[in-house]
Amino acid sequence: MLQDKVAVIYGAGGSIGGAVARAFAREGAKVFLTGRRRASVDAVAEEIVSAGGSAEAAEVDALDEQAVDEHLDSVIDSAGRVDISFNAVGIPNAKILGVPLIELDVEHFSLPIASYATSYFLTARLAARRMVANKSGVIMTVTALHSRMGLQLVGGYGPAMAAKEALTRDLSAELAPQGIRVVGLRPQGMPETRTIKEAFEPRAKASGMTWEQWQEVLASRTHPRRLMTLEEMTNMAVFLASDRASGVTGTIVNLTMGSLDD
C-alpha cells in the first residue's frame, strides 16, 4: 500500500514509532527513522533491513528546528522527496502524570503542552515546506483519549493532546488545498507498549490492583471488552498514509473502540 513512498518518522525508537516504521516498511515505503537517542532507532532500522525493507536511522531531536530541517534536506538529497511525516514523539512521564492539578507546578504543567505542540508543529511545518513542491504528502501524528475526556492525575497531558488535535485540523485547513493531507490517530492505551505499562502499573498497584486487573478495567470500557493491539493501530496508520485514504484529512481517527464517543 505504500510502495516507494518516502516516510520520515520522529520518535521511531519508541513503541508506536517503531511499530509504525516496521508497518510502513513492510508495505514498501522507504523509511527514514529518527529519534533523540540513536541506539533504539538503529535497532528498529536494522530489524527492517534484515527483513528486506529499506530504512535509514539518524539522531534528530524533534524539538530542534535546525536538526529537523537538516535531516529533511538529507532525506531529499537521498530519496528526492518526502511523502509521509509521522510524529510519534513521546515526552517522558516523570512528574507530568500522577500529580493532582492543585499540587502541580507550572513548569511541569506546561512541559507536555509546549513540547508536544512544538514538536508536532515543527516537524509538520518543515515537511509541508518540502511537500508543497510536489503538491502531495501526508502529515500524521498520534494522540490519546485525554484530548476529549476528563481524567484524573494527567496534568498538562490532556491539554497537550487537545492542542495536537486542533493543530491537525488547522494544518489541514491550510495545506489540503495544496494536496497535503493531515490526519491523526487516537488509540486507546495499548498495554503491550512500555509507556503504558510504566505509566499505569504503579497506579494499579497503588489502588490495590494487579497490572492484569487494571487492563481488565480499561478493556471493560470498550465495546469489544478488549484493548487495541499495536498491529491494529499500525494497520490504520498504513491505510491513512496510503493513497486509498485520499478523502481523509483534517481529522483524528478514533481508535478507542467505543471508550470515547465521537
Ligand X SMILES: NC(=O)c1ccc[n+]([C@@H]2O[C@H](COP(=O)([O-])OP(=O)(O)OC[C@H]3O[C@@H](n4cnc5c(N)ncnc54)[C@H](OP(=O)(O)O)[C@@H]3O)[C@@H](O)[C@H]2O)c1
Summarize as ranges the residues that interact with ligand X (CB under 6 A).
10-11, 13-17, 35-37, 40, 61-63, 88-91, 119, 142, 144, 187, 189-190, 193-196
Rank residues 178 and 203 by Cβ distance to ligand X and give the closer one. 203
Q: How far is CA 245 from CA 22, 23, 57, 181, 253, in A?
A: 20, 16, 27, 9, 12
Cα distance between residue 172 and residue 90, in whole Å? 22
Contact 202, 208 (CB under 8 A): no
Nearer residue to ligand X within complex by CB, 14 or 53:
14
Pairing of strands 180-187, 84-87: unpaired
β-partners of residue 43 are none
Beta carbon of residue 137, minimum distance to ligand X (angstroms, whole number): 20
Q: Are 171 and 159 in contact (CB under 8 A)?
A: no
Residue 136: CB minimum distance to ligand X, A:
25
Q: How far is the CB of 247 from ligand X (least distance, A)?
A: 25
Task: Indicate the residue among 114 and 132 with the shorter CB distance to ligand X.
Answer: 114
Q: Which of 90/250 has CB closer to ligand X?
A: 90
Instruction: Indicate the residue whose CB is closest to ligand X.
Output: 14
Q: What distance in Å separates the CA atoms of residue 86 and residue 143, rounded to the nearest whole number? A: 12
CB of 29 to ligand X, least distance (A): 19
